[in-house]
Structure 1
Amino acid sequence: MALKRMDNVGIVVDDLEETIDFFRELGLELEGRATIEGEWAGRVTGLGDQHVEIAMMRTPDGHSRLELSRFLTPPVVADHRNAPVNALGYLRVMFTVDDIDDTLERLRKHGARLAGEVVQYKDVYRLCYIRGPGDLLIGLAQELG
């Protein structure tokens, strides 16, 4: 098999500091920060000369990462944050948490708000979607039993 793993999911943000703080509160660890710029980077993305601040956030188990990017140049050209959950394309990241109520209480201090309500799926999960910093859509799941 050629595929080894999924390294990360990229999210473009307005406010890198606020988003780092939010994901730290959720339980991710800041793995590192960097500034990516120059023609070589633009050859990868197809954007030409670019200047981007990035932060790599890692889940506590070490298996998953979010790459948070704040583009300085070129400017952001589209905004998908207010798309409904049935919109085409990448939409959200789902995290499993120990206690959904405690997690919501902590994240509300960082501006999080429920997109709907907390619901229970059978005796398996409690689930909700929240809007985080910059209106990012994030799913939370608590395993039951």
Structure 2
Amino acid sequence: MPVRRMDNVLIVVDDLEAVKAFFLELGLVLEGETTVGGPEVGALIGLEDVRSTIAMLRTPDGQGIELDKFHTPDPFRLGPVDAPVNAMGYRRVMFDVDGIDELVARMRTRGAEIIGEMTYGESYRLAYIRGPEGIIVGLAERLG
């Protein structure tokens, strides 16, 4: 099989500091942050005159979320910030967590909107939350 593992998911953001703080509060760790640009970067991603700041965050098991704040060219939004979960495209990332009730309560005090919560049979407690810039995160805690 040619694919060995998933390395990271890219999320393009406007307010890098707010989104970074959101993921750090969830328990991810900042691996690094840098500004990139130039013709090599532009050729790789298919844009000209690229300059962006990237923050790489990792879960304890090594999975990554890459946050990218474009300075040039100007970024643009395809839809509303509060698009529902059934909007086309990437809609959420889900994390396996411990202590979902405490985590949801803590995220709520940090401004996260709770979309919904449920218990899935006897297997999982689930919660969907919306953070800065409309980013949807799923939280799943194994039961038993």
TM-score range, shorter chain: over 0.9
- Runs (4 or more) in structure 1 with deviation over 3 Å come to none
* Sequence identity (%): 52
Aligned to 1:29: 29
8 A contact 1:36–1:52 mirrored in 2: yes
Report the alpha carbon displacement of residue 78 of structure 1 after superposing the two structures with TM.
2.4
Report the alpha carbon displacement of residue 141 of structure 1 after superposing the two structures with TM.
0.9
Aligned to 2:97: 97
Secondary structure in structure 2 of the residue aligned to 1:105: helix
Aligned to 2:47: 47
> How many residue pairs end up in the alignment?
143
Cα distance in 2, alignment partners of residues 78 and 134 from structure 1: 10
Aligned to 1:5: 5
Structure 1 portions without partners, runs of 5+: none
- Within 5 Å, give how 1:110-125 maps onto structure 2: 110-115=110-115, 117-125=116-124
Aligned to 2:74: 75
TM-score w.r.t. length of structure 2: 0.93
Cα distance in 1, alignment partners of residues 110 and 69 from structure 2: 19
Secondary structure in structure 2 of the residue aligned to 1:89: coil
The residue type paired with residue 36 of structure 1 is V
Secondary structure in structure 2 of the residue aligned to 1:9: strand
8 A contact 1:113–1:132 mirrored in 2: yes
8 A contact 1:10–1:68 mirrored in 2: yes
Cα RMSD (Å): 1.3
Report the alpha carbon displacement of residue 96 of structure 1 after superposing the two structures with TM.
1.2
Aligned to 1:14: 14
TM-score w.r.t. length of structure 1: 0.92
Secondary structure in structure 1 of the residue aligned to 2:91: coil
8 A contact 1:110–1:133 mirrored in 2: no
Structure 2 portions without partners, runs of 5+: none
